[in-house]
């Protein structure tokens, strides 16, 4: 990462992108028209600011992209940042978008007779093994984690495990797969995240963007 490079701003693909774009526009960053073209396979786009390019990456990869300096700053879910727990990322601002919850869920018939307070060890399917282990360890529960990157809700019906840890917003996917929430681990939102090397080598620019995002968030909730 060179100090005189264009700034690379990383945005997550998918549902979260729709949630954050209005905020991105409010701070004055507007991607080129092709960014909105669903058929365009490029991952890097110019913006109205000649000093900034945007890249689109999978949400789950955002922490790695920022940690290794492939992007100077970006928007990442608190779930991704907490799971990676990288010292190379500075996340100074809650953007108050992308609200969802990280929960423990299990089949409805199991939940009717289950008591989470009595668990001593469990097997769980999740894409967040570090968060899951820390959560259960704090309660003295030993958690064996089966890491999956998708289709977490199908794991109990396939016999992989009896419980899952995943993100939910409306809970519709849980219900569609015969699952019910039995415990909440945390509330998740998106954060402005910055590579620490970029913060040290380009402090004026990075601080200015933090301030602009903070003002946009304050205006949105004032």
Q: Residue 205 pLDDT > 90, yes or no?
A: yes
Domain-embedded: residue 1: no
Domain-embedded: residue 2: no
Host domain of residue 152: 100-187
41-79 pLDDT, tens digit each: 788 999 999 999 999 999 999 999 999 999 999 999 999
Q: Do residues 179 and 195 both lie within one domain? A: no
CATH number at residue 64: 3.40.190.10
Q: Residue 135 pLDDT > 50, yes or no?
A: yes
CB atoms within 10 A of CB 202: 21
Mean pLDDT estimate for the chain: 93
Name the band, by pLDDT with cuts 50, 70 and 90, for residue 4: low
Domain-embedded: residue 93: yes
Domain-embedded: residue 208: yes
Q: Do residues 179 and 73 both lie within one domain? A: no
With tokens 């960053």, the residue in question is 29
Q: Residue 2 pLDDT > 50, yes or no?
A: no
Name the band, by pLDDT with cuts 50, 70 and 90, for residue 38: low
Q: Do residues 93 and 195 both lie within one domain? A: yes
Q: Do residues 77 and 137 both lie within one domain? A: no
Q: Do residues 159 and 53 both lie within one domain? A: no
Q: How many domains does the chain have?
A: 2
* Weakest-pLDDT range from 10-24, 106-120, 181-195, 200-214: 10-24
pTM, 2 dp: 0.89
* 181 close to 171: Cβ distance less than 8 angstroms: yes
DSSP H or E run through 129: helix 129-137
Q: Do residues 50 and 86 both lie within one domain? A: yes
Domain-embedded: residue 121: yes
- Which tops the pLDDT comparison, 5 or 165? 165
Q: Do residues 106 and 89 both lie within one domain? A: no
Q: Do residues 24 and 93 both lie within one domain? A: yes
* 62 close to 8: Cβ distance less than 8 angstroms: no
Give Cβ neighbours of residue 109 (< 8 Å, ≥ 6 apart): none
């Amino acid at each position: 990462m060179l100090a005189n490079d264009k700034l690379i701003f990383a945005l997550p693909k998918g549902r979260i992108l729709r949630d954050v774009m209005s905020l991105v526009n409010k701070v004055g960053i507007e991607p080129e028209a092709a960014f909105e073209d669903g058929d365009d396979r490029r991952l890097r786009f110019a913006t109205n600011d000649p000093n900034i390019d945007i890249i689109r990456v999978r949400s789950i990869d955002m922490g790695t992209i920022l940690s290794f300096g492939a992007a100077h700053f970006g928007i990442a879910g608190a779930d991704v940042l907490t799971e990676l727990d990288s010292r190379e990322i500075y996340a100074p601002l809650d953007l108050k978008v992308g609200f969802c919850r990280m929960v423990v869920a299990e089949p409805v018939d199991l939940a009717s007779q289950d008591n989470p307070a009595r668990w001593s060890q469990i097997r769980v399917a999740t894409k967040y093994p570090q968060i899951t282990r820390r959560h259960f360890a704090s309660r003295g529960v030993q958690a064996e984690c089966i890491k999956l990157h998708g289709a977490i809700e199908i794991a109990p019906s396939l016999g992989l495990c009896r419980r899952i840890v995943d993100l939910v917003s409306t809970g519709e996917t849980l219900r569609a797969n015969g699952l019910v929430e039995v415990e909440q681990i945390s509330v998740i939102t998106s954060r402005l995240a910055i590579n620490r090397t970029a913060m040290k080598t380009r402090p004026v620019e990075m601080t200015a963007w933090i301030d602009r995002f903070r003002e946009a968030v304050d205006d949105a909730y004032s």
